[in-house]
Amino acid sequence: MEAVLQWGLDFVRQIQTLTTPWLTVIMRAITSTGSAAACLILISFIYWCVDEKKGLRLAVVLLISAWINLALKYLLDQPRPFFEAYDPSVGRTAVIMGGFPSAHAQNSLVIWIIIASWKIVPRLSRAAHFGIAALLCLLIGFSRIYLGAHFPTDVLGGWLLGGIILAVYFLAGSRIEALLKSPRAGLIAAAVLAFAMNMYRPSEYMLMPGGMILGLGIGCFLCRRYVNFNAVLNDRTGTAKLITLFVRYALGITAMALLYAATGKAVNGLRGSGNYHLYAFTRYVLLSIWLSAGAPWVFCKLRLA
């Protein structure tokens, strides 16, 4: 294993011979598109402004992928190229947990291949959709190596794991969804899955996927029972439609940012208390409820949906 990591470190050093200030700025911009914040922004846009059902599917698969990735990181506890035992000089980014598998590589593959399968641009062929998605995934994976955040094996491992998750999604996703068609079944499944995720909790970071899964379950139950939100605007076209979607998204994401900041400040103030993990878990539940029910309810009340 040490020989493989040493090869990986040499590979990172070789890639970094290409380093220029502008290339580093570009690579940081590319790598940011695979961050958790970017994923949340994208899913919110899809759920609120494109198709709430597709947004929900993507959110659930991504959260499961994120939990698997975090669990493996803590279980395997693999080093990163810039750790003290290797070469701190290659580090261009700050990360605190283990490196294998790469979350950016894994989650970006899951997100963009699923989006490519929707064929969202009618003029482009299916092959073109998947080609663009593959290029984005390659660029994000390369950026992680360029920035010294991962060994090449971390990125390859992330792609492999992401591919397995995609295979399960495409082969069994529709069958699982059919079993959870009723709002009550979806809520129960979300609660059971969140409970199972929280059985393994070596760090507070592991609370995020389970909390957001439970929040989505609660939010979708409330939305389907009482709000009946539909992201598609059938009664507006042209400029009116674009303005409505812009206002809808700007309102939703601004409120989410404020909720994230306020709950973060409140939870951090309770750090060290006996119930700290419960408060942190609740924070993620609330964020998902806003995404899946709170914002859609506001949109409907303001005639934005």
pLDDT per residue as tens digits for the range 102-155? 999 999 999 999 999 998 888 888 899 999 999 999 999 999 999 988 999 999
Domain final position from 133, 163, 179: 179
- Same domain flag for 200 and 98: no
- Same domain flag for 3 and 65: yes
Q: How far apart are CA 48 and CA 230, in angstroms?
A: 8
Q: What is the pTM of this model?
A: 0.92
Percent of the chain past pLDDT 90, that is, above it, reads 62
| Counted domains in the chain | 2
pLDDT band at 5 (very low <50, low <70, confident <90, very high): confident
The pLDDT of residue 75 is above 80: yes
pLDDT value, residue 84: 63
Q: How far apart are CA 112 and CA 137, in angstroms?
A: 8
Q: What is the mean pLDDT of residues 257-271?
A: 89
Q: Which two tokens stand for residue 138?
A: 């390659």
Longest dimension (CA), the chain: 62
CA 79 centroid distance within chain: 23
- Same domain flag for 34 and 1: yes
- Same domain flag for 204 and 287: yes
- Same domain flag for 128 and 34: yes
Q: How far apart are CA 229 and CA 42, in angstroms?
A: 19
CA atoms within 13 A on the CB side of 261: 6
Least confident of 65-74, 89-98, 262-271: 89-98
**Is residue 240 exposed (0-12), middle (13-18) or buried (19+ Cβ within 10 Å)?**
exposed
The neighbour count for residue 208, using CB atoms within 10 Å, is 21
Note the residue count of the chain.
305
Residue 122: enclosing H or E segment and its boundaries?
A: none
- Same domain flag for 172 and 193: no
pLDDT tens-digit series, residues 197-231:
998 887 888 899 999 999 999 999 999 889 989 99
- Same domain flag for 89 and 201: no
CA atoms within 13 A on the CB side of 77: 3
Q: Comparing 277 with 94, which gets the higher pLDDT?
A: 277
- Same domain flag for 283 and 166: no
pLDDT value, residue 85: 57
Q: Are 203 and 276 in contact (CB under 8 A)?
A: no
Q: Which two tokens stand for residue 240?
A: 């009116």
- Strands (DSSP E) found in 48-184: none
Query: What's the whole-number average pLDDT of the chain?
Result: 90
- Same domain flag for 166 and 186: no
pLDDT band at 80 (very low <50, low <70, confident <90, very high): confident
CA atoms within 13 A on the CB side of 101: 24
Q: Comparing 8 with 165, which gets the higher pLDDT?
A: 165
- Same domain flag for 198 and 137: no
